[in-house]
A and B are shown apart, each in its own frame.
Chain A
Amino acid sequence: KAGVTQTPRYLIKTRGQQVTLSCSPISGHRSVSWYQQTPGQGLQFLFEYFSETQRNKGNFPGRFSGRQFSNSRSEMNVSTLELGDSALYLCASSPQQPGEQFFGPGTRLTVL
Chain B
Amino acid sequence: DQQVKQNSPSLSVQEGRISILNCDYTNSMFDYFLWYKKYPAEGPTFLISISSIKDKNEDGRFTVFLNKSAKHLSLHIVPSQPGDSAVYFCAASGRGGSQGNLIFGKGTKLSVKP
Known: A100-B46, A103-B44, A105-B43. A45 touches B101 (CB 8 A): yes
- Smallest Cβ-Cβ distance to A50: which chain B residue: B100
Chain A interface helix/strand/loop/mixed: strand
- Smallest Cβ-Cβ distance to A31: which chain B residue: B100
Complex Cα distance, B91 from A42, in Å, reads: 12
Complex Cα distance, B96 from A55, in Å, reads: 12
- Whether A50 lies near B98 (C-beta < 8 A) is yes
A76 close to chain B: CB less than 8 A: no
Most buried by A among B45, B49, B97, B100: B100
A98 close to chain B: CB less than 8 A: yes
Interface residues of A in 39-53 (CB under 8 A from B): 41-45, 48, 50
A66 close to chain B: CB less than 8 A: no
Interface size on B, residues (CB 8 A): 24
Interface residues of B in 62-114 (CB under 8 A from A): 89, 91, 93, 97-107
Which listed residue, A4, A41, A43, A56, touches B98 by the CB 8 Å rule?
A: A56
Chain B interface helix/strand/loop/mixed: loop
- Smallest Cβ-Cβ distance to B47: which chain A residue: A100
Known: A43-B44, A100-B49, A106-B43. A33 touches B102 (CB 8 A): yes
- Whether A90 lies near B107 (C-beta < 8 A) is no
Which listed residue, B42, B101, B106, touches A33 by the CB 8 Å rule?
A: B101
Complex Cα distance, B42 from A104, in Å, reads: 8
Known: A48-B98, A58-B101, A94-B100. A100 touches B43 (CB 8 A): no
- Smallest Cβ-Cβ distance to A57: which chain B residue: B101
CB distance from B2 to the nearest CB of A (A): 9
- Whether A55 lies near B98 (C-beta < 8 A) is yes
CB distance from A48 to the nearest CB of B (A): 3
B34 close to chain A: CB less than 8 A: yes
Residues on A facing B (Cβ under 8 Å):
4, 31-33, 35, 41-45, 48, 50, 55-56, 58, 90, 92, 94, 98-106, 108
A-B CB proximity, top 3 nearest: A48-B100, A103-B43, A98-B99
